[in-house]
């Protein structure tokens, strides 16, 4: 009598039992999480505060149970069903009708995603408070844009900031200086979710007032529910607002565009995502796809390793999401009230002190596109995507490559090619304070194609950079680029010191 398993059993020996085990484990984890969240909620004595906290924890719990379900069953996209968007799903900006009529502006509100800190650039506090041009911060430039819009067209477009618990206090203090400006500034906070212990799958905090490091803001996909929970959504609708323009606070190209607003009205679209053509620098950016006839956002985190090269390919996925979004406010109210939102869960694993590993469950606002009627993308010029994520980006926006006009950065028409140079600054330039100290004045770069700088390098005033310039200061040495120097298609390496005398 043979005890060998048959071929079928050998291939899938424990499939059903494994699924049953994972399902049972998920059920236990969900129940344990619910118990802990109830304890946290019960610790809040004030009834109003407890109700608001309960709502946040309920939303977090729904996200957590979806995470458990996906972890147990696996819900990766079927790559064979991932297709390029159809021409109806991506419309070219150049095909939009030109609009000078501001008739719909009084139905518009502008929202900036202001939850991030400037830590990656060595700053403390909200990223929106970093000075980026002529002594003005991201926030200053945004306020200036909206104020100019309101004055020019005699309208009242409110300016909204979605803060996080990390940025709210500082932001509220900063915006006091705009009190005399012709602009209505509204703020609300996105949710505060508990970090999850990766081993126990239980919340890190033991108290609602626990260590702030045990909590996190759950990504900008939280916008829909936080707008509804804060009362901001109902307030805007009551004030006659119908459309919301959303963008990242660090995207200096995201200004109100009458052509896109008019197109949104004409096409009766509830959701329009601005996309732009990929370059080699954008290969990890989320892209729009057609999935079983529906337009969806595909993020890099959703792509399995075997399809990563395909995802990064500029040939197949030619565009990426700028996170400039135009959304119908009443549609937001509908999808939140009817609990229609089922945004893709992004799992972010972090390591805290003492090597404690935690999980953050996040969502992206652009993923909401699949829940709105007549939703589609508009392929916009690159000028509408001008983010400042690093000092290499800061180098560009502070240079003569751009001029400032009513808070809007415009590319210098004297630049021969309306493309941005590729700039790579080394670790010595990573922090904003170090970056500023290494330039006596911003170099002239109208004719620059590529710049790489590594090591201990400083620039004198009036330096011109053209073509491809590579500057490498070797370990233990320093390079000072003299004032008024012209570097054109040059490689500078080794040691070059300018001594005071």
Instruction: Place domain 391-493 in its CATH homologous superfamily.
Output: Hexapeptide repeat proteins (2.160.10.10)
In this predicted structure, the answer to whether residue 275 has a pLDDT above a threshold of 70 is yes
pLDDT at 134: 87
pLDDT at 21 over 70: no
Cβ–Cβ < 8 Å for 126, 152: no
Higher pLDDT, 175 or 317: 175
User: 368: closest CA among 252, 484, 286?
Assistant: 286
Would you name the residues annotated as active-site residues? Answer: 389
475 in helix, strand or coil? coil
More confident residue, 16 or 61: 61
Q: Is 136 in contact with 144 (CB distance < 8 Å)?
A: yes
Q: Domain segments of the chain: what residues? A: 79-384, 391-493
State the Cα–Cα distance between residues 203 and 51, nearest whole angstrom: 19
Q: Residue ranges of the alpha helices (H) in 247-338?
A: 258-267, 308-312, 329-337
Strand bridging mode 82-83 / 287-291 = antiparallel
210 marked among binding-site residues: no
Kindly report which listed range (17-21, 250-254, 477-481) carries the lowest average pLDDT score: 17-21
User: For the chain, what is the mean pLDDT?
Assistant: 90
Distance CA 337, CA 414 (A): 51
pLDDT in tens, 82-133: 888 988 999 999 999 999 899 999 999 999 999 999 888 988 889 999 998 8
> What's the pLDDT score for residue 495?
78
pLDDT at 17 exceeding the cut of 70:
no
Main-chain phi, psi angles of 200, to 5 degrees: -90, -15
Among 391, 399, 469, residue whose Cα is nearest residue 435: 391
Inform me whether the pLDDT recorded for 55 exceeds 90: yes
Radius of gyration of the chain (CA): 25
Q: What residue has token string 């306020």?
A: 143
- Please tell me the predicted confidence (pLDDT) of residue 16: 47
pLDDT digits (tens, 9 = 90+) for 339-384: 888 898 999 999 987 778 999 999 999 999 999 999 999 999 999 9
The answer to whether the annotation marks 360 as part of a ligand binding site is: no
Q: Please give the pLDDT value at position 8.
A: 40
User: What tens digit of pLDDT does each residue of 116-125 get?
Assistant: 998 889 888 8
Overall average pLDDT of the 449-457 stretch = 96
pLDDT digits (tens, 9 = 90+) for 383-402: 999 999 999 999 999 999 99
Is pLDDT above 60 for 296?
Answer: yes
Dihedral angle, C-alpha 274, 276, 282, 283, nearest 10 °? 90
Q: State in words which class domain 79-384 has.
A: alpha beta
Nearest to 139 by CA among 108, 165, 172: 172
263 known ligand binder: no
Question: 118 a known binding residue?
Answer: no
Does residue 501 carry a pLDDT above 50? no
% the chain with pLDDT above 90: 72
Q: Rounded to an integer, what distance in angstroms lies between the CA atom of residue 195 and that of residue 84?
A: 36
Find out whether 190 is annotated in a ligand binding site.
Answer: yes
Q: Given a cut of 80, is residue 418 above it in pLDDT?
A: no
pLDDT at 12: 45
The answer to the question of whether 315 is labelled as a binding residue is: no
Is 314 within 8 Å of 361 (Cβ atoms)? Answer: no
- If we measure between CA atoms, which residue out of 376, 374, 481, 466 comes closest to residue 421? 466
Distance CA 60, CA 365 (A): 16
Least confident of 17-21, 182-186, 280-284, 480-484: 17-21
């Amino acid at each position: 009598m043979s005890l060998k398993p048959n071929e079928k059993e050998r291939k899938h020996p424990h499939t059903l039992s494994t699924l049953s085990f994972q399902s049972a484990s998920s059920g236990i984890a969900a129940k344990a999480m619910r118990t802990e969240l109830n304890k946290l909620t019960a610790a809040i004595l004030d009834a109003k505060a407890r109700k608001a906290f309960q709502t946040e924890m309920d939303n977090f719990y729904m996200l957590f149970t979806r995470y458990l379900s996906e972890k147990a069953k696996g819900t990766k996209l079927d790559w064979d069903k991932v297709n390029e968007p159809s021409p109806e799903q991506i419309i070219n900006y150049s095909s939009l009708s030109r609009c000078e009529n501001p008739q719909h502006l009084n139905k518009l509100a502008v929202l900036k995603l202001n939850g991030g800190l400037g830590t990656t650039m060595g700053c403390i506090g909200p990223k929106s408070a970093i000075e980026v041009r002529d002594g003005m911060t991201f926030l200053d430039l945004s306020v200036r844009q909206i104020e100019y819009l309101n004055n020019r067209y005699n309208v009242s477009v409110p300016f909204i900031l979605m803060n996080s618990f990390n940025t709210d206090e500082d932001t509220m203090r900063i915006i006091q200086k705009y009190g005399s400006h012709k602009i209505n500034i509204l703020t609300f906070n996105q949710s505060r979710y508990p970090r999850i212990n990766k081993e126990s799958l239980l919340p890190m905090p033991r108290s609602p007032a626990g260590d702030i490091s045990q909590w996190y803001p759950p990504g900008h996909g939280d916008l829909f529910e936080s707008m509804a929970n804060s009362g901001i959504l109902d307030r805007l609708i009551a004030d006659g607002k119908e459309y919301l323009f959303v963008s990242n606070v660090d995207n200096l190209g995201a200004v109100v565009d009458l052509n896109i607003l008019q197109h949104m009205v004409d096409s009766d679209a509830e959701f329009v995502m601005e996309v732009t053509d990929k370059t080699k620098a954008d290969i990890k950016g989320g892209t729009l796809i057609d999935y079983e006839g529906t337009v969806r956002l595909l993020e890099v985190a959703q792509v399995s390793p075997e399809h990563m090269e395909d995802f990064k390919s500029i040939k197949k996925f030619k565009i990426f999401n700028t996170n400039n979004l135009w959304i119908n406010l009443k549609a937001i109210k509908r999808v939140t009230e009817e609990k229609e939102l089922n945004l893709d869960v992004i799992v972010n694993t972090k390591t805290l002190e003492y090597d404690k590993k935690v999980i953050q469950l996040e969502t992206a606002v652009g993923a909401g596109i699949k829940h709105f009627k007549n939703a589609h993308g508009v392929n916009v010029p690159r000028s509408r995507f001008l983010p400042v994520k690093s000092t290499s980006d800061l180098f560009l926006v502070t240079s003569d490559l751009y001029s400032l006009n009513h808070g809007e950065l415009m590319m210098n028409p004297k630049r021969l090619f309306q493309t941005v140079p590729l700039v790579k600054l080394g670790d010595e330039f990573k922090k904003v304070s170090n970056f500023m100290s290494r330039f006596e004045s911003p170099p002239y770069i109208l004719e620059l194609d590529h710049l790489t700088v590594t090591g201990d390098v400083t620039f004198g005033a009036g330096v011109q950079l053209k073509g491809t310039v590579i500057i490498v200061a070797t370990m233990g040495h320093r390079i000072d680029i003299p004032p008024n120097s012209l570097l054109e298609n040059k490689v500078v390496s080794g040691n070059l010191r300018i001594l005071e005398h």
